[in-house]
Structure 1
Amino acid sequence: MTAGKPPVVREDVVSMLASLGDRTADEVGDGIDSMQLAWLVHQVEQRYGVEIELNEVQYTRMTTVDGAVEVLRETMGTVPHA
C-alpha cells in the first residue's frame, strides 16, 4: 500500500456515486454508466488528491461497483498489480 493513501472501499465508491443526483447509497445499483464513471473518477481525484490515468481495458472493467473498486485500488497503488 502506498503511504498516505487509504485503499478505496466499496462503501466509498457507492457514496461517491450516490452524490451524483443526490441519491442515498441504497439507491445506487451495481452497474456504472459512462456519466457515473466520469463523476466517480473526478470524485476520487478530488477526495484522494491523485490524478488517475485509465486505459481502455481499465475503463471496461469499471462497469460495476466492484470492478471500479478493483481498478481504483490498482491505479492508486493500494494493492499489488496482478
Structure 2
Amino acid sequence: MSSQRGNLKKGAPKYQNSFAFTHNPKSKKTDHILGLPIHGLCPHCHAQIVWRKKYRKYKPLTQPASWYAGISSIPI
C-alpha cells in the first residue's frame, strides 16, 4: 500500500501563514494566565512555560504541583 508506515512523502506545508498568531490581549483569562508567577524552575522548564504563555497553550493547574530538582538529572 502507498500509505504504509514509513512510505509517506513529507513535504512543505501547502500554504504559508500570512500573519503570526496573536492571542486576545483583553480577555480576563489571558490577563490571569500572563499574571501568574514563574519561579523555582530550571531554565529549560522556564522557557517552556514562557512559550506556552506566549502562544496561549498554557493551561493553569487545577491543583498546584511540586517540582523536584532530582528530575533534571534524568536524561530526556
Bigger share in helix: 1
Tell me which structure has the larger Cα radius of gyration: 2
Q: Same fold (TM over 0.5)?
A: no
TM-score in terms of structure 1 length:
0.24
TM-score (norm 2): 0.25
Q: RCO greater where, 1 or 2, for CA within 8 Å and sep 6 or more?
A: 1
